[in-house]
Amino acid sequence: MNILILGYGKMGKIISEIAESRGHSIAGKINIDNRHELDDLDPKDIDVAIEFSQPEAAVENIKWAISNGIPIVSGTTGWLDQKPAIEKLTLENNGTFFYASNYSIGVNIFFKVNEFLAKLMGEQSDYQASMEEIHHTEKKDAPSGTAITLAEGIIKNISKLNKWELSENMNGNEHALPITAKRIDPAPGTHIVRYRSEIDDIEISHTAHSRKGFALGSILVSEWIIDKKGVLSMDDFLSF
């Protein structure tokens, strides 16, 4: 399989290493400094694109792949206000677009545990829900895409909550889920969900030890997606 890497930073380099160790070839390594090289690539030589760039570059990268008939697997966060337009473009072009806020298998299991716990806590009015996420200082968006996915799973199941807010923006809003976002090196990613009451606390957490889990997950998805069409997610890949 020939893989185009869109976003050749720390994640892109790990993706390249793991892909080659699994017998795949790298059709190109594109970052902000050589994006003009996209014009020199033949889409027929690319089986799939894996996109881990920056929020300001993600939309154009994804549009380029879809417009050229290349299935694309994206993990960039911080641009999701434009996701409906990307999904529309995918369907109009009979393309293939796969998005996940996190490609770690463990994190996606954690998403399901989070939703299950939120359902149990939905009727427990004495508990106050909150979240904390910790990432490296190079991560530009806050809260993380993973934190937003977790927050959406909580809000969907706890009726008194109708949105999430960064903790510093809460202003006493009891109907918002507070998220504390910390940027501390060299943390690759920790997410903590808490339910606190006067009597006790309940807490679940996921801590990534490296970026390898995210990179491997994106490659496994890329291997799976080759003969698929449409807008897809980790629920489709894992058959949850």
Rounded CA gap, 203 and 150, in Å? 13
From the list 13, 83, 139, 163, the catalytic residue is: 139
Q: What is the DSSP letter of 138?
A: T
* Cβ contact 77:144 at 8 Å: yes
Q: For this structure, is 229 an active site residue?
A: no
Nearest to 46 by CA among 27, 29, 30, 25: 27
139 is catalytic: yes
Q: How far is CA 70 from CA 12, 53, 135, 139, 219, in A?
A: 18, 17, 31, 27, 15
CA distance 59 to 212: 24
Of residues 29, 63, 135, 136, which has the active-site annotation? 135
Return the SS3 of 155.
helix
Active site residues: 135, 139
